[in-house]
Structure 1
Amino acid sequence: MTLRDNYLILDDMTVIRSAGLRGFRATVAELGGDAEQFAAACGLPITALDTDDLLIPDQALAAVLELAAKRLDCPDLGLRISRRQDLDMLGPLALAIRNSPSLTHVLECSARYLFLHARALTLTPEPDPYGDRGVIALHYGVQPGVPSPIQATDLGLAFVHHTIQRLAGDRYRLLSVELPYQPPAPIERYAEFFGAPVHMNRPYAALRVPRNLPTLPLSGGDENLHRLAMAFLAEQAGGMDASVAPKVRATVQQLLGTIAPEIANVARLLTVHPRTLQRRLAAEGTTFAAILDDVRRDEAHRYLTTTDMPMSQVASVLGLTEQATLTRCCRRWWGTTPTAIRRG
């Protein structure tokens, strides 16, 4: 993965960390719905509702938000969920943002590293769409040419809004909200939520703010922590190096139960050709198959000894075709059955 890659395509889809679903389960329950039922209907693993670091198709995340909004007759679902989300869901990027000396630094690190959280999302300052030189538009959304999913865009734009509010306090003066669609909820609901005029059917989603807002200093940050966080993000976003096996292992762990953990998919996420990945693993004395088997063994042991998850579901989250395959793997790994491992 290199810094110039704002998003990665995986089987014609881009992926997002499951942290984007934070607050979904609680909000749906509050509205009388079943979050697990909606997740299953959209092909999302149930574990994605309660963990931050699974890689899930962003189309599936958008779909589950739209499905829940429709079934629960809640057209402002994205706005509601946003109230349960905070910066922590961005992982190391949150540390860099919290310790930024100014909003300019916040926007810079977000523009460079937001793709580590969601491959297709961008947050960039643009000239004011109405031509006001004293105003900039914080453009949020997917890559050009891709339709903006309503609930997911509402959720993301609201998250950005809340984040700037918390960082800038009273100095944050939102001038207007630009939406690239006709909102399903009354426009008054959006205006009340954002505390600013809302314009519909615009070219892209954006928050219009005074041009000098990013230059305002932020207090309470630690410049050393900011530098450390930025260095860590750069390392995460860096290209392949001599130690490729740990990256492959971490990627396989994230893909299990979401997208097929095949070498082609892992290579795409690491932005390297599958044959190149095979050669580098061979140079380190291992293979993709060996790493996949090791990860499955460790994850199987964790699920069998720490959860009551049905055996069929354990097999599924490990990317195995059926429960019988899990049994054969356990006999090969430990010389016994999954049931015996769980009892032990």
Structure 2
Amino acid sequence: MGPMIRAASLRGFAPLVRELGGEPDELCRRFGIEPAALESDDALVPITEHDLMLDAAALELGCPDLGLRLASWQDITILGPLAVAIEASSTVWEALACASRFMFIHSPALSVGLEPDPRGVPGVLALTYRKDLRESTYSPQGIELGLGLMHRIAVSILGERYGLRSVDVSHAPLSPVGRYVEHFGVEDVRFGTDVAAMRAMSAVLDETFEGANAAIHTRAVAHLTSRHVDPRTTVGTQVRLAVADLLGSAPASLSTIARLLQTHPRTLQRHLAKEGTTFDAVVDSVRREAAHRYLTTTDLPMTQISSLLGFGEQSTLTRAVRRWEGRSPRAVRRDARA
């Protein structure tokens, strides 16, 4: 199974869709998400289906700014226990470090971080928002939801001290540019950038929080550490990502992956066994999820998909998809379009 995301990310989805004349339960079922998940912040849903549903709803309901609208229904509390640690932080720097460290609790496919200003302006930094495209397909609405929510959280905590200078959106505008200016409150919004980010003066990192409480922050971080294991640290996840990097370009053999991870093949197999899996199972899982993404979200020909998955022949793809999905690749694509 691919990476998940807490259903809190869909807070406000049902009333927003109804407001637009749609049926949220029907959309959920179509994308394999239990409608009951909309009522539970802590439920987990597949992030790929979550994002595909947002993109489909925006298109079908004629709402190109759906991601930004959904962000307006949400606040920092969708992050659950992570929100407590962030709000109790002493400075913006400490809060961002905490968010970056524990974002995997919300979804292991998402990450936030501080990076040098992509425009090279001294004294400016970029707060970036990324999705791991090795594990899940790109989603314009999902990216706009994440950016829009980060902005709302920053404003709620810092107010005018936030000092946002500009916003970088990593795709073409989905709505009139004025809609982005309205949501973020800045005139400088650029599109098609290398990464989605909000640019601010680096001095903001030293800004303090009114709700800072060192004791609560320490206890909250200890709770997060004891209750949650970062899946990125498991051997299985490291193998998954290494296989995904090589898929279609080089043979993802046990010896090759072990060499990349700087370990012996037998040692790698032992670690995977302790985690209840095998190397072949991990490779099969990566191929299955990649095949599903290619078949349901692209128009790539079957021969190209076979090559991207590291299959020598299209017939191998056909047999694999029948084993995974119980139907042919063309049927999977046809049903997704329907």
Quick check: TM above 0.5?
yes
In 2, are the aligned partners of 1:25 and 1:35 still within 8 Å (CA)?
Answer: yes
Deviation of the 1:239 alpha carbon: 7.9
Deviation of the 1:26 alpha carbon: 1.1
Structure 2 residue ranges without an equivalent (≥5): 232-269, 277-338
Q: Does 1:34 align with 2:23?
A: yes
Deviation of the 1:217 alpha carbon: 1.1
| Structure 2 counterpart of 1:276, one-letter code | K
Deviation of the 1:276 alpha carbon: 2.6
Partner deviation per Cα, 1:172-207 (whole Å, 9 max, x = no partner): 111111011002111111111101121000001000
| Structure 1 counterpart of 2:144, one-letter code | D
Match of 2:207 in 1: 216
In 1, are the aligned partners of 2:127 and 2:199 still within 8 Å (CA)?
Answer: yes
Match of 2:44 in 1: 55
What are the equivalent positions in structure 2 for 1:224-239 lying under 5 Å apart?
A: 224-238=215-229
Q: Does 1:106 align with 2:95?
A: yes
Deviation of the 1:88 alpha carbon: 1.4
Deviation of the 1:220 alpha carbon: 2.1
Q: Provide the identity percentage.
A: 36
Structure 2 SS opposite 1:84: coil
Deviation of the 1:32 alpha carbon: 1.5
Q: Does 1:23 align with 2:3?
A: no
Structure 1: how far apart are the matches of 2:46 and 2:122? 38
Task: Calculate the aligned-residue CA RMSD, in Å.
Answer: 2.0
Partner deviation per Cα, 1:18-48 (whole Å, 9 max, x = no partner): 1111110011111121111111111111111
Structure 2: how far apart are the matches of 1:239 and 1:75? 34
Structure 2: how far apart are the matches of 1:175 and 1:239? 33
Structure 2: how far apart are the matches of 1:194 and 1:34? 29
What are the equivalent positions in structure 2 for 1:318-333 lying under 5 Å apart?
A: none
Q: Name the CA shift for 1:202/1:231 in 2 (closer, same or farther; >3 Å).
A: same
Structure 2 SS opposite 1:140: strand
Q: Does 1:135 align with 2:124?
A: yes
Q: Name the CA shift for 1:135/1:144 in 2 (closer, same or farther; >3 Å).
A: farther
Match of 1:46 in 2: 35
Report runs of 4+ in structure 1 exceeding 4 Å deviation.
Answer: 144-147, 272-275
Query: When the two structures are aligned, how many residues end up with a matched partner?
Result: 237
Relative CO higher for 1 or 2, CA cutoff 8 Å, sep ≥ 6? Answer: 1
Structure 2: how far apart are the matches of 1:214 and 1:37? 44
Match of 2:304 in 1: none
Equivalent of 2:174 in 184, 202, 217: 184
Equivalent of 1:69 in 49, 55, 58: 58
Match of 1:256 in 2: none
Deviation of the 1:238 alpha carbon: 4.0
Structure 2 SS opposite 1:131: coil
In 2, are the aligned partners of 1:141 and 1:148 still within 8 Å (CA)?
Answer: no
In 1, are the aligned partners of 2:170 and 2:193 still within 8 Å (CA)?
Answer: yes
Match of 1:294 in 2: none
Match of 1:195 in 2: 185
Q: Does 1:207 align with 2:198?
A: yes
Equivalent of 1:159 in 143, 149, 157: 149
Q: Name the CA shift for 1:239/1:134 in 2 (closer, same or farther; >3 Å).
A: closer
Partner deviation per Cα, 1:135-177 (whole Å, 9 max, x = no partner): 0000102126665311111011111001011111111111111
